[in-house]
Structures are given as C-alpha cells and as structure tokens.
C-alpha cells in the first residue's frame, strides 16, 4: 500500500517556478521559435499573403523545392563514440578568407517587401556573425547602402546578366569600388520560372492595394504601417518599376548568355568569381576548367525549372570531379544546422540559406535573422558533437548516408 499525506507548504515551495510576466512581444515570439520551421509559422502569421508566398513558394508544382528538402531529411548520420568534443571549431576559409561558420546569407530579391528592415538586417547580422552576405541584383538596397551599413562585413554581389550588358557591368564596377570581395554570377535564369503563387496573388512592384490585399492586411496592420512609413523601395539595379514581378524578370533576364560571356565577366572582375545555378557534373567540369573560384550547386530554390536535379544529391559527384581545384558550395533546401553538417561532410566548402533567412526577417527584422542564425548554428554544433567530431575538417562522407527515394529506372526498363 502507498502511504499518502497532504503536502506541506514547505514541500510545495521548491516546485513553484512561476515566471514574471514579460511584455516584450517580439522577444517572446522569437524565443519561442526552436526551429526554422517555427520561424516560418511566425512569418506566415505576420506577413501579407503575396510577399510571404513570394518567399515561400517555388515554380509550378513546387516539386524541385520539395525534393531538395526531402533529400536533407533523408540523411542518415553515422556517429563515432568516445571522442573529446568539449570544444568544437566551426570556422575555416571560404574563397581565401575565414568565416565563423560555413553558412552565408543567399541573395534574395524584393527583400524589403518581406520586412521593412530588408537587406540592412541581413548585412548587419551577417557581419555580426562573421559570415558572408550576398546582395541580389534584385535587392531593395543599393550596393553603396549595404556597404555603409556593414562596412566591415564580408559582402558579395550577385549578378544577373541583363539584356543591357552595359548596365550589368556598371553594377559590377560599383560592387568592386564598394569593396565587395566576391561576384556571384547566377546562370540558371534564361527566363523566369512559372511561379504560380505570384501569378495567383497578382504580386506586383509596388504592391497593389486591391480589395483582396486590403482584406488580407487587416490582421497584419504592423506590416502595412512599416511599409507605408519607411523609405520607398529602391533596387540595387534599377530606379523604379511598375508592373508584375514576372514582367520585370522577363524584361531583365538575358536568354543569350553563354560561357563566352562568363569568361568576359571574369576578366572584368578583380575579386573572387563564383557561378551559381550549376546542376550537372559536365557544367561543373567546364567551369572549373575556366578557372572560376567556386560553383554553387543550386536549382534556384526550386524557383526556375520544376523537377530540376537535387543539389545535395549532385554534391558527391561534383566534389569528386572538381573539388581539388574549385570550391563547391550548396544552396536550396537547407533548413537546419544538421543540413549544413551533412553538406560539409559530403564535400561542400560552404552553404547558403535564403528562405531560412527570410523567415527570420519576416518574424522580427534583424532580431529575427539573429534568432535564425542562433538556431541553425546551435543545431550545427550539437550535430557535430553528437557525431563525435570537433572541427569541420573531421567531417567526412562516411559520416553520412544519402538515403534516396527517387531512383532512376534503367533505360529501357
């Protein structure tokens, strides 16, 4: 028989752990986020549908994005035991300079549509964390502005080659003069992908005040207050635009760009040159033979060709082919620090996060971006410890198995 008694107040006292009420709404909601997925949930609640969907969505049936994320979820880790992991080093060199973590903020377009702090929040937070920030040609702050808010940051510029080559190279010249150390040329955009969410939402620049957008804004007045009371949108690459996003992209993107054009750009640029949007071993090999400093395996976050190759699955083959001479970076589908660890173990030198960054931004501006990096870097160091490694150099392919659901059928099968 269990003997029972009524607890005395002295016995209850140690169990009473009431917290003092906190009235910091932003601080509370960001602290409640334990994953990038949690930040996405907050971002969706706080951001109007059109800009949120622009960030969250991808092309057509969105299979490329789904598959890229699934590839990271299908990783099996192989830990080693009884290793001293009391200290973990997450720093090494990327493109000739040290980074605190092998993570950078990917170039994103129309960023101040997601949150009024936009690129300011991304560039300043990246500088604080000792990681690179990439400004998009379609960004909403100028090259010079980003330099002014993050003068000590590792700033990169992402270039889309326009039909107007002279204006494209003006941007390259401005980035060089501003001290940006890396040019990231995106090559998977001969035309804009079919981003159906944007078409259904009528997403335009500037956002149109229709009955639908007004109704959607009613529970999100803070977003409209920020948008209407801060600077008008200014693009890194053009002074103004009236029309839909798809019309703007088709106006700018050049379907005639070739390897010869890339070689010409390489001659003009004094810093490191990285090519983003590589999706085959053959193209990686040709780029390496041209002497580019790095390539980014990326399907543009699934926003261009649907059913595109999965960057993470391409990684081992590409590293084997070009990894001695050319840095291999990975973008698309990274949503956690464990994803970063898996990519590094499979041979990547560097990874980039785009949507994860924007989810943090939409959740709370610069503080939200900071919270995203806290989450991802804590996940990363914890995963390394649990794998039994104390530095990035110790991560190796035998720490990871890429489980694969989509197996090609034999030809003729």
Question: Catalytic residue numbers?
Answer: 300
How far, CA to CA in Å, does 142 sit from each of 89, 155, 270?
Answer: 34, 12, 20
Beta carbons of 268 and 157 less than 8 angstroms apart? no
Unique residue bearing structure tokens 């980039």: 352
Beta-carbon contacts of residue 227 (< 8 Å; ≥ 6 apart): 113, 116, 207
Cα–Cα distance between 26 and 137 in angstroms, integer?
Answer: 30
Phi, psi of 249 (to 5 degrees): -65, -45
Host H or E run for residue 404: none
CA-CA-CA-CA torsion sign (201, 205, 207, 211) = negative
CA dihedral angle for residue 314, residue 58, residue 406, residue 356, rounded to 10 degrees: 60
Burial 285-322 (b: 16+ CB within 10 A, else e): eebbeeebbbbbbbbbbbbbbbebbbbbbbbbebbebb
Within 10 A of 77 (CB to CB), how many other CB atoms are there?
14
Beta-strand pair 350-353/327-331: parallel
Host H or E run for residue 202: none
Beta-carbon contacts of residue 209 (< 8 Å; ≥ 6 apart): none
Beta carbons of 347 and 323 less than 8 angstroms apart? yes
> Is residue 44 exposed (0-12), middle (13-18) or buried (19+ Cβ within 10 Å)?
middle
Within 10 A of 142 (CB to CB), how many other CB atoms are there?
18
Within 10 A of 152 (CB to CB), how many other CB atoms are there?
8
Cα–Cα distance between 136 and 85 in angstroms, integer?
Answer: 38
């Amino acid at each position: 028989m269990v003997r029972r008694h009524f607890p005395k107040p002295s016995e209850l006292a140690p169990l009473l752990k009431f917290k003092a009420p906190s009235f910091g709404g932003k601080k509370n909601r960001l602290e409640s986020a334990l994953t990038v997925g949690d930040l996405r949930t907050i971002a969706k609640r706080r951001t109007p549908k059109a800009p949120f969907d622009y960030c969250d969505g991808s092309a057509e049936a969105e299979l490329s994005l789904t598959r890229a994320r699934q590839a990271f979820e299908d990783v099996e880790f192989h830990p080693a035991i009884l290793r001293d992991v009391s200290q973990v080093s997450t720093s090494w060199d990327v493109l000739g300079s040290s980074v605190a973590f092998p993570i950078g903020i990917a170039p994103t377009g129309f960023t101040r549509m997601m949150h009024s702090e936009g690129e300011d929040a991304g560039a300043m937070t990246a500088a604080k964390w000792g990681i690179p920030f990439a400004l998009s040609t379609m960004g909403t702050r100028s090259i010079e502005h980003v330099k002014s808010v993050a003068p000590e940051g590792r700033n990169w510029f992402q270039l889309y080659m326009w039909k107007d080559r002279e204006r494209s190279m003006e941007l390259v010249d401005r980035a060089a003069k501003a001290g940006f150390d890396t040019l990231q040329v995106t090559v998977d955009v001969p035309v804009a992908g079919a981003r159906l969410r944007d078409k259904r939402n009528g997403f335009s620049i500037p956002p149109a005040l229709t009955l639908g957008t007004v109704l959607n804004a009613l529970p999100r007045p803070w977003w409209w207050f920020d948008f209407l009371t801060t600077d008008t949108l200014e693009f890194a690459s053009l002074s103004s635009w009236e029309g839909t996003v798809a019309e703007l992209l088709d106006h700018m993107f050049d379907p005639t760009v070739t390897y010869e054009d890339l070689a010409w750009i390489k001659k003009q640029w004094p810093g490191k040159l990285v090519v983003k949007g590589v999706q085959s071993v053959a193209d990686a090999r040709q780029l390496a033979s041209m002497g580019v400093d790095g390539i980014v395996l990326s399907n543009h976050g699934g926003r261009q060709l649907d059913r595109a190759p999965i960057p993470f699955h391409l990684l081992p083959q590409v590293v084997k082919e070009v990894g001695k001479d050319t840095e291999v970076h990975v973008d698309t589908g990274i949503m956690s620090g464990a994803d970063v660890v898996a990519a590094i173990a499979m041979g990547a030198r560097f990874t980039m996060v785009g949507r994860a960054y924007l989810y943090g931004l939409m959740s709370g501006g610069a503080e939200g971006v900071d919270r995203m990096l806290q989450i991802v870097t804590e996940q990363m160091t914890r995963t390394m410890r649990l794998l039994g490694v104390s530095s990035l150099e110790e991560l190796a392919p035998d720490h990871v198995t890429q489980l694969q659901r989509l197996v090609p059928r034999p030809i003729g099968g």
